[in-house]
Amino acid sequence: MSQFDVVILGGGSGGYACALRSSQLGLSVALIEENKLGGTC
């Protein structure tokens, strides 16, 4: 089983930005999205 510092549910604009920033800060990130990244809003 893998361990992550941050797990984000949803790859919409908010989730994607959170994942990028968390990674820039040196955290290990898991982004879970069932469709394409970016969302629809």
Asked whether residue 40 carries a pLDDT value surpassing 80, the answer given is no
Q: For residue 41, what pLDDT band results from cuts at 50, 70 and 90?
A: low
The structural domains of the chain, with segments of one domain joined by +, span: 1-41
Which residue bears the tokens 């969302």? 39
Single pTM value for the model: 0.81
H helix intervals, the chain: 13-24
Give me the sign of the Cα torsion angle 28, 29, 30, 36. Answer: negative
Please choose, from the candidates 24, 18, 40, the residue with its C-alpha nearest in 3D space to the C-alpha of residue 32: 18
With a CB cutoff of 8 Å and minimum separation 6, the contacts of 3 are: 28
15-38 tens-digit pLDDT: 999 999 999 999 999 999 998 888
User: What is the DSSP code (8-state) at residue 23?
Assistant: H
